Copies of this chain bind each other. A is one copy, B any other.
Amino acid sequence: MAEELVGNVLVGQSGGPTAVINASIAGVVAEALNHGEIEEIYGCLNGVLGILQEDLIDLASESQQTIRGLRFTPGAALGTCRYKLKKQADFERVLEVFKAHNIRYFFYAGGNDSQDTADKISKLAAEQGYELRVIGIPKTIDNDLPVTDHCPGYGSVIKYISTTVREIACDNEAMGQHDLVQIVEVMGRNAGWIAAGAALAKRRDHPHDPPHIILLPEVAFSPEKFIEDVQRVLKREKYCLVVVGEGLVDADGNYVAAEDKTDAFGHSQLGGAADYLQGLVNQYLPAIKARTVKLGMAQRAAVHAGSKADSDEAFLAGQAAVQAAIRGESDVMVTLLRGDADHYTCETGLAPLSDIANGVKKLPREWINEDGVSMNHQFVRYAQALIQGETPVPYENGLPAFVKLDKVRVDKQLPAYEI
């Protein structure tokens, strides 16, 4: 057991929100209350920006009802940012703020960049001899953090997408004219983890169930093959359901579509991957109707269709972070470890922040079938476990009841800082 370190907790969130990142914060707060050496529980608003600007709130003053409600509230209740600490002065300022508020435990929920930031803060504190325990909490719908078996946020996004695909399929099946291509665009700019998850919509032993075509950034896109694939499906099925990751690339590695791209005249070119595919169908198969669904930010916020396993693991990761810090661990991120048993089990582990910061977990090529547009049983086995159970979101008057933090500010101790 490490020496007892008495002081305050600071917890923050970073990067894009997920359906369950707030559950991790709830886990941190719930666990922190169990440990006498933790005096105050603070949150920083909008990630590292809130540290630089000394925008801290008192999480212990929030009602228990609110902290419980965080488990079922999407978004990032503390606020988040994409600001990256760059200058040495930024890092110095972070430590200055930590010292001013006697922060001895720092928990940071985020993806690679955030874990990198946490790593650097941890190392600077060590250099300066300021005793600080820094624990990262994994968060990303993209599921691309190394070492950990999977990331909180991923299970919920693929459960929502598979649910949506299964529902749209019932609708498409009803028309039955063999002339409909339904295109569903999902997130995933650099990896196909999210699009691949749609494969769960297929019933076991029904390989011809939708989605009929999954287009992944891992497989170079060929318009000719796409049109052939669509035609083949439409011969067999009443409709062709396509799921496409937004980061689809051609043989040269260029995105086939990008929002905010401007043409030579400075006019914006609109449309994402689904619009691009719709255009191809219109052009090469004029008798076929192509329809699009773009889930956009709805998919990473859809706690109403979230995975209970995912939500519980996100909470667990928050608790485990506090327990690890109390044990004296630092400069590590909580990981999720899958048991070897046939029946899915998950416990937490720890990995050095630097291992997380510099790695990316790719979708294994051998989990993609040879046809390039479907996933094999190894992927399904991996992903199926992550969508089990339904997040018990509380409803009020017909809609999910989400909570907002009161955000009682902690008094500033330092002069303002220029960002």
Asked if A150 is at the interface of the complex by the 8 Å CB criterion, the answer is no
Q: Is the CB of A304 within 8 A of B163?
A: yes
Residues 250-281 of chain A, each 1 if its beta carbon lies under 8 Å from chain B, else 0: 00000000011000000110110001001100
Checking B73, B171, B384 against A398 with a beta-carbon cut-off of 8 angstroms, the contacting residue is B384
- Taking CB atoms, residues of chain B closer than 8 Å to A182 are 297
Closest to A270 in B: B275
Complex formed: what's the CA distance from A387 to B298 in Å? 20
Interface size on A, residues (CB 8 A): 70
Q: Is the CB of A171 within 8 A of B301?
A: yes
Closest to A283 in B: B268
Q: Is the CB of B304 within 8 A of A293?
A: no
- Taking CB atoms, residues of chain B closer than 8 Å to A282 are 260, 268, 270
Q: Is the CB of A164 within 8 A of B302?
A: yes
- Taking CB atoms, residues of chain B closer than 8 Å to A164 are 298, 302
Complex formed: what's the CA distance from A287 to B76 in Å? 24
- Taking CB atoms, residues of chain B closer than 8 Å to A175 are 79-81
Asked if A133 is at the interface of the complex by the 8 Å CB criterion, the answer is no
Q: Which residues A169-193 have CB closer than 8 A to chain B? A: 169-176, 182, 184
Assuming the contacts A268-B279, A293-B296, A384-B397, asked whether A75 and B390 have C-beta atoms less than 8 A apart, the reply is: no
Q: Is the CB of B174 within 8 A of A75?
A: yes
Closest to A299 in B: B293
Checking B174, B291, B297 against A291 with a beta-carbon cut-off of 8 angstroms, the contacting residue is B297
Complex formed: what's the CA distance from A301 to B164 in Å? 8
- Taking CB atoms, residues of chain B closer than 8 Å to A294 are 292-294, 296
Asked if A53 is at the interface of the complex by the 8 Å CB criterion, the answer is no
Q: Is the CB of B398 within 8 A of A159?
A: yes
Closest to A82 in B: B175
- With both chains docked as a complex, state the minimum distance between the C-beta of A265 and any C-beta of chain B, in angstroms: 12
- Taking CB atoms, residues of chain B closer than 8 Å to A166 are 399-400, 402
Asked if A168 is at the interface of the complex by the 8 Å CB criterion, the answer is yes
Assuming the contacts A176-B46, A296-B293, A395-B390, asked whether A167 and B268 have C-beta atoms less than 8 A apart, the reply is: no
Residues 71-88 of chain A, each 1 if its beta carbon lies under 8 Å from chain B, else 0: 001111101110000000
Closest to A13 in B: B174
Asked if A111 is at the interface of the complex by the 8 Å CB criterion, the answer is no
Q: Is the CB of A297 within 8 A of B168?
A: yes
Residues 191-208 of chain A, each 1 if its beta carbon lies under 8 Å from chain B, else 0: 000000000110010000
Asked if A97 is at the interface of the complex by the 8 Å CB criterion, the answer is no
Q: Most chain-B Cβ atoms within 10 A of its Cβ — which of A275, A297, A390?
A: A297
Asked if A143 is at the interface of the complex by the 8 Å CB criterion, the answer is no
Q: Is the CB of B174 within 8 A of A17?
A: yes
- With both chains docked as a complex, state the minimum distance between the C-beta of A1 and any C-beta of chain B, in angstroms: 37
Checking B162, B275, B305 against A305 with a beta-carbon cut-off of 8 angstroms, the contacting residue is B305
- Taking CB atoms, residues of chain B closer than 8 Å to A162 are 398-399
Q: Is the CB of B283 within 8 A of A278?
A: no
A contacts, CB < 8 Å to B: 13, 17, 19, 46, 73-77, 79-81, 159, 162-164, 166-176, 182, 184, 200-201, 204, 259-260, 267-268, 270-271, 275, 278-279, 282-283, 289, 291-298, 300-305, 307, 384, 387-390, 395, 397-400, 402
Q: Would you give 7 A-B contacts (Cβ < 8 Å), ordered by A? A: A80-B174, A167-B402, A168-B296, A270-B275, A294-B294, A305-B305, A388-B398
Q: With A270-B282, A388-B397 given, can you name 13 additional A-B contacts, CB distance below 8 Å? A: A74-B167, A74-B170, A74-B171, A75-B172, A79-B173, A80-B175, A164-B298, A166-B399, A166-B402, A168-B297, A260-B282, A271-B271, A271-B275
